[in-house]
Amino acid sequence: MEIDSKPKRVAVLDDHAIIAAGIGQLIDAEPEFELSGIYGEFAGLTEQLRRSPIDLLVMDLQLGGESIAPEIRELTYQFPALRILVFSFLDSKNYVHDAVAYGAMGFLSKSSPHLQLIDALKSLLSGMHFFGVDLGASVANVDDAEIPVKLLSGRELEVLKRLALGFSPKEIGFELDLSDKTIHAHKNSIRQKLGLRRQSDLIRAAFSAGIVTVYELVG
């Protein structure tokens, strides 16, 4: 079987022109990557993706001062093969949680050493999550004492862990030998008991309970 040796196509979504240009130069200097374009707005990126798919996307969390974190979910839904690395100054634990919950595979602070960007892209390309060292610590050390995880049953904790790691109800049901209907019932019960609504809140609850670690996300 012939091995695909073509450079992987990488795009950049960032409205800070100087930073975006620097990212592009780093990518272009690596023979296994090919810079497919730099975009300063979301619509231009999605239009290009429909014409010519890419393998990796490096994106900020804000454009024009507005959050585009929810657009990560839209991108991963429309282009399921796309792997997204968030590269942002907004690097608190909550931003990391939200990015991962929406579907990003990695998160790197713009204050990180520039070579970490290449390491991150290579990790995503191999199917692994990636977090900078400092971010890994912030994600792992979540203090959410207000989330009453002790209200959950043992089975609900098992379901919560798998939900936080991105398993679908069908996958969870298969692994735990339970019906989809039962898994959805557990999911609804978890949300009601903990007063949570978003997927990112479920991740935070799982970290709070100590049943998910950043190392499980990293792989």
42 and 115 fall within a common domain? yes
50 and 77 fall within a common domain? yes
Q: Which domain, by its residues, includes 154?
A: 149-218
State the total domains in the chain: 2
Burial class (CB in 10 A: 0-12, 13-18, 19+), 113: exposed
pLDDT band at 181 (very low <50, low <70, confident <90, very high): very high
Alpha-carbon distance of 104 to 73, in angstroms, equals: 8
* Inter-axis angle of helices 154-164 and 169-176, nearest 10: 130
Tell me, what CATH number does 104's domain have? 3.40.50.2300
pLDDT tens sequence across 195-209: 776 666 777 677 766
45 and 133 fall within a common domain? yes
pTM: 0.65
pLDDT tens sequence across 97-149: 778 777 788 888 888 888 889 999 998 998 887 887 665 544 544 444 445 67
- The torsion angles phi and psi of 203, rounded to 5 degrees, stand at -65, -45
Among 140, 172, 188, the domain boundary falls at: 140
135 and 172 fall within a common domain? no
pLDDT of 2: 43
Q: Is residue 182 part of a domain?
A: yes
166 and 126 fall within a common domain? no
Tell me, what CATH number does 202's domain have? 1.10.10.10
Report the DSSP beta bridge partners of residue 90. Answer: none
Q: Is residue 170 part of a domain?
A: yes
pLDDT tens sequence across 149-163: 778 888 998 998 888
pLDDT of 3: 47
Among 99, 117, 140, the domain boundary falls at: 140
Question: Reduced to 3 states, what is the DSSP secondary structure of residue 87?
Answer: strand
191 and 133 fall within a common domain? no
Q: What is the largest CA-CA distance in the chain?
A: 54
